Amino acid sequence: MNKKALSNLFLLLLPIFLLGGCSNSKANTSSSDPISKSEVLMGTFCTVKIYDSKDTKILDKAFDRIKEIENEVSINKENTELDKVNANAGKERVNVKNDTYTIIKKGKEYSKLSSGTFDITIGPIVKLWGIGTDSARLPSEDEIKERLPLINYEDLEIDEKNHSIYLNKKGMVIDLGAIAKGYTADEIAKVLRENNVQSAIIDLGGNIYALGNNSKGNPWKIGVQSPFLERGETIGYVEEKDKSVVTSGIYERYFEQDGKRYHHILNPKDGYPYDNEIAGVTIVSDTSMDGDALSTTLFSLGVEKGLDFINKIPNVDAVFVTKDKDLYITPGLKDIFKLTNKDFKMRN
C-alpha cells in the first residue's frame, strides 16, 4: 500500500484527547500515560490504549486477535478462508471457522435489511475500481455492466448446521471491508474485558470503541472528524461509555481523475460511487459491527431515507453531515452530541 492510500485510511473519528498523534508499534509504558500499541493491520492503523493496567501482554493478546481475524477474512491476502470461499464461487461449499461464518452471516442480514443498498457480494466491483490501492482507476461502462450481475446477496447461501458458505455464481466475490473491522473491534473489547480491563480506547482507523469510562471516571469525549478540514479538525463530539462510534464518508478513500473525485462507497445497483448530499455518517451503537454496516447503509440511503431507517432501529443513533455542512442527528443524540464548529449548522 502506498503512502497516499495509507494516509487516506487514517482515523475518521478521533478521541479529542488523542488528537496529538499515535504511538508506534511498541507499547507505551510511561507511568503517566496509558499503555498503547499501534500496528498497520486490516489495511488501516490499529491502536489500542489501556488506561487501568500496565500489563503489556494484554495488548499483545488484543493484536494477536486482530491478526487471527485478518488471516481468516482479508480479501487482500492469499489462502484466507474468505479467499477460499470466493475461489469456489459456483463450484462448491466451503466450511469456515466461527469468525468468518459470523461476519458473513451478519453481512447478509444487513444486506437484506437494507434491500441491497449495502451488499457484501459487491467484491467484483470493488476489485474493478481498486480504490485505496495502487491500481485505482475509472473502469469502463462495459466493464461495470459485465460485473453487476455477480452482485446479489440472495445468491449467497449460508448453511448454519455445517458452517458452510456457498456463492451460486462463478466470479462472485464477498467483500467484508464494510463490516469486518467492526467485528474485530468488538472482539478486542471482549479480550480486554476477559483480562479485567475496564478503561480503554480501541481505534481501528475510523472504528472507535470506548470501553468503560476514562481515567477520571467520566464518559469519553469522542470527536467527529470534519469532512472538509485537516485531520484532527472536528465538528463536535459525543460523550459515551461502552459504545462504538463509527463513520463512513467520501473523504476516507478516493482518487481523482479529470478533476472529479471518486470515493470508495460503491452502489451495488449501478456500480458507481454513491452520489448524494452526504459527506459523512457517524453511527453510535452498542456494537461496532452494527455501526460498521449501518454507517455504509445510511450513507447509501441519503439523509431523509437514512433518518427514517435508523429511527426504526433501537439503541442506535446517527449523525449525518451533508456537503453543505448541515448536520442531522437522531433523537437519542440530542443531549449527547456537542457542536463545536460554527461553520456547521444543526438542522431538524
The C-alpha cell of 347 is what?
Answer: 438542522
Beta pairing partners, 318:
283
The model carries a pTM of 0.89
Whole-angstrom CA distances from 193 to 17, 84, 181, 335 are 22, 32, 18, 28
The tally of domains found in the chain comes to 1
The pLDDT value given to residue 233: 75
Residue 315 DSSP symbol: T
Q: Is 281 helix (H, G, I), strand (E, B) or coil?
A: strand
The pLDDT value given to residue 252: 67
The C-alpha cell of 263 is what?
Answer: 470515493
The pLDDT value given to residue 231: 59
Q: HSE-up of 230 (CA within 13 Å, CB side)? A: 1
The pLDDT value given to residue 225: 77
**Do 258 and 40 contact (CB within 8 A), yes or no?**
no
Phi-psi region of 22 (alpha: psi -120 to 50; beta: other; left: phi over 0): beta
Q: Which amino acid is at 48?
A: V
**Could you give the CA distance from residue 63 to residue 236 in angstroms, rounded to a whole number?**
30
Structural domain harbouring 300? 1-348
The pLDDT value given to residue 340: 95
The pLDDT value given to residue 146: 97
Q: HSE-up of 59 (CA within 13 Å, CB side)? A: 25
* Sequence-ordered alpha helix ranges (H) in the chain: 3-7, 56-73, 81-87, 98-113, 123-129, 141-147, 180-194, 288-310
Q: Model confidence over 14-30: pLDDT tens digits?
A: 443 333 233 333 344 34
Q: Model confidence over 275-334: pLDDT tens digits?
A: 999 998 999 999 999 999 999 999 999 999 999 999 999 999 999 999 999 999 999 999
The pLDDT value given to residue 113: 93
**Do 262 and 252 contact (CB within 8 A), yes or no?**
no
Here the CATH number for the domain that contains residue 222 is 3.10.520.10
**Could you give the CA distance from residue 268 to residue 46 in angstroms, rounded to a whole number?**
28
Backbone angles phi, psi at 24, to 5 degrees: -85, -170
Instruction: Return averaged pLDDT per consecutive 10 residues of the chain, 348 residues in all.
Output: 40 37 37 85 93 97 97 86 96 97 96 94 95 89 97 98 96 95 97 98 91 95 80 85 89 80 90 92 95 92 95 95 96 94 91
Cell numbers 461476519 correspond to 103
